[in-house]
Structure 1
Amino acid sequence: MATNYIKYAQLIKGSSNYARRMKSLSDKIFGEVATPTNPSSLKVVKIFSARPMHTNEEILHYYPRHVETHALILKLREYGLFRDEHQDFVEEMKRLRALRGKVKVWKRYMNTQDKE
């Protein structure tokens, strides 16, 4: 059995017309490039033979779940288990503006109060 494979491999390496045609057929069957190609074209062949990106799990689930993480952080901040310094700063600025009497009132908010 092994000797048959060795004979076939030697036959393929030969330079006869039959050997070249068999090599080309073998390459076509196994999805390899049948004709000699330059490296830049082989790169294109490699890209097209790769698995599509939309089926690759590593790419699909690359980014973390931002919405759920944000909701969790807000809840932890409510309980006092997480400190969001930026949000603390924003709230402190709002509090200081309210103390100075500089509270921002949105026109849309004023219009809805007038209608009630």
Structure 2
Amino acid sequence: MATNYVKYAQLIKASSNYATRMKRLSNRIFGEVAIPTNAKSMKVVKMFSARPTHSNEEVVHYYPRHVETHALMLRLREYGLFRDEHQDFKDEMKRLRELRGKVKVWRRKLDADKKD
């Protein structure tokens, strides 16, 4: 039985028309590229044979935990260990608006309904 396999392997390596056609058939059966192609086309083949990104855990859970990180940065800012220049700018604009007497009073619709 092993000798038959060796003969088949030798036949596949041969450069006859039959050998090339059998090699192509074998590649199609086992999901490989049937006809040798350039590197650019092989990149496309690898892309389509790869696992879909929506089922890949490394891609789906790539981003950090934004809510917890934001809360941590706010707490560190209160302690003076982190400087958020954008929030500093917004606070300064709010302070200057208060000095000019231009404070906006926001009333929620629910609060207005409860008073009536």
Q: Which residue of 2 aligns with 1:60?
A: 60
Moved more, 44-53 or 19-28: 19-28
Asked if 1:22 corresponds to 2:26, the answer is: no
Q: Is the aligned partner of 1:99 residue 2:88?
A: no
How far has the Cα of 1:110 moved from its partner? 8.2
Q: How much has 1:76 moved relative to structure 2?
A: 2.0
CA RMSD of aligned residues (A): 3.4
**Counterpart residue type for residue 103 of structure 1:** V
Structure 2: tracts of 5 or more residues without a match: none
- Residue 32 of structure 2 corresponds to which residue in structure 1? 32
Written as runs of structure 1 = structure 2, the 5 A alignment for 1:50-89 is 50-89=50-89
- Normalization by structure 1: what TM-score? 0.67
* Paired residue total: 114
Q: Percent identity?
A: 77
Amino acid at match of 2:72: L
The gaps in structure 1 that reach 5 residues or longer are none
Distance 1:110 1:70, change over 3 A: closer
Deviates more, 1:65-74 or 1:37-46: 37-46
SS in 1 for 2:104: coil
> 1:49: which partner in 2?
49
**Structure 1, residues 38-63: CA drift from partner, whole Å, max 9, x if none?**
66554432222111112223322332
Give the aligned residue type for 1:92: E
3-state secondary structure, aligned to 2:28: helix
Q: Could you say if the C-alpha distance between residues 85 and 46 of structure 1 is closer, same or farther in structure 2, counting changes exceeding 3 Å?
A: closer
TM-score by length of 2: 0.67
Indicate how the Cα distance of structure 1 residues 12 and 66 shifts in structure 2: closer, same or farther if over 3 A, else same: same
